Structure 1
Amino acid sequence: MEALGGYPVKSSGPKIRKLTVLLSMTVGVGCLFLLQPRKPVDFYSFEVKDSKGRAVSLEKYRGKASLVVNVASHSEQTGEAYESLQELHKELGTSHFNVLAFPCGQFGDTETGTSSSIEAFAKSTYGVTFPFFGKIKIMGSEAEPAFKFLTDSVQKIPKWNFWKFLVNPEGKVVRFWRADEPMESVRQEVATLVREIIVKKRAEL
């Protein structure tokens, strides 16, 4: 290629093409990154199924304290556990706190029903009013991701029914209790966290 006057000029075509390809690749990778589903970073970032199989976002509980429990209908602790959990749920109310029940059938024959029948049994027999979710697995490769977040956070996997995980308003696990630990300890910890939430909200007004 020659410029006016007959002097040769080096072509910039290949360079421009290279730059265009590189720019296109960069934009393409950026778009793929944006399209990737956001990895949950806390408990409230997860989506789970309710007892009727419908998708539910746990975001609705963000800003509150949650006591997450793997429940069962036919365990030796069932009656006492449901009664004490309902009492706690009623005492501290739903404005700042919820018990969240996740039925699990991985401990023998302690939970054999369907998700909807499990919830119906708990409500009719023990008068529970706290939220129930679909029946899940909490151990192994099929463990429910939301519950796996809890167990990974404390590096402990429940060995029986009615383990309790206390989740703070930001979705982080702050404490857990095994099934045989006294409910009074749970109540004190939860009440303290709820008071902190109330004080913080008042200060923000």
Structure 2
Amino acid sequence: MAEGLPSSIYDLTVKDIRGEDVSLGTYSGKVLLIVNVASKCGLTHSNYKELNVLYKTYKDQGLEILAFPCNQFRSQESGSNEEIQETVCTIFKAEFPIFDKVKRNSPLQVLEIQKGGLLGDSIKWNFTKFLVDKTGKVVERYAPITSPAKIEKDIKRLLEA
């Protein structure tokens, strides 16, 4: 693990969209789908629609979707946290947790290091997705163009494990 970074996602404390501290340790024992999101990306509508379906279908079975807005890719998430929350909850009807806007390499760097990408470890675009098992291990990384619906079989497998 890189110097100065925790070895587990559960060791991280992040801010939610309202600026409150949230220990990711509270999600221990759940399957996590962690996504860097943006409201003005060409992938936004389809991703939020499918993420909402996955969340409604599997949240009672132990799935949590954690959305981390990021503005580093063509300024596609330029609003304040209040504006982001309004957009995500009102327009896209997201019910899963939304966190404070992040730089692409923090706190998601722990995920990047555990599961590097095809073109290097760092996140290259909005809607990169990381699937984390119940023990906090990143088991898969999906490209931004991967439809959340195509991840469903992997989510089911981890929920049943």
Kindly state the Cα deviation for residue 184 of structure 1 after the two structures are TM-superposed.
3.3
CA distance in 1, matches of 2:43, 2:115: 23
Whether 1:42 and 2:3 are equivalent positions in the alignment is no
Give the aligned residue type for 1:188: K
Q: 2:112 aligned to 148, 151, 166, which one?
A: 151
Q: Residue 153 of structure 2 aligns with which residue?
A: 188
Q: Which of these residues, 99, 115, 139, is aligned with residue 174 of structure 1?
A: 139
Question: 40-49 or 125-134: which moved more?
Answer: 40-49
Cα distance in 1 between the residues matched to 2:67 and 2:23: 15
Q: For 2:108, what is the secondary structure of its paired residue? A: helix
Question: What count of residue pairs does the alignment treat as equivalent?
Answer: 154
Pick from 107, 125, 128 the counterpart of residue 91 of structure 2: 125
* 1:62 equivalenced with 2:39 (yes/no): no
* 3-state DSSP of counterpart to 2:33: strand
Q: Which of these residues, 80, 89, 95, is aligned with residue 114 of structure 1?
A: 80
Q: Letter of the aligned partner of 1:78 in structure 2? A: T
Question: What is the aligned partner in structure 1 of residue 38 from structure 2?
Answer: 72
Normalised to the residue count of structure 1, the TM-score between the two structures is 0.71
1:137 and 2:98 aligned: no
The runs of 5 or more residues in structure 2 that have no matched partner are none
Higher helix share: 1
Q: Which runs of 4+ in 1 moved over 3 A?
A: none
Q: Which deviates more from structure 2 when the two are superposed, residues 60-69 or residues 185-194? A: 185-194
Give 1:162's aligned residue: 127
Tell which has more relative contact order, 1 or 2 (C-alpha 8 A, sep 6+).
2
| Equivalent position amino acid for 2:149 in 1 | E
Looking at structure 2, the residues matched to 102 and 130 of structure 1 have their Cα atoms a distance apart, in angstroms, of 11
Matched letter for residue 71 of structure 1: V
Identity of counterpart residues, as a percentage? 34
Shift of 1:43: 0.6
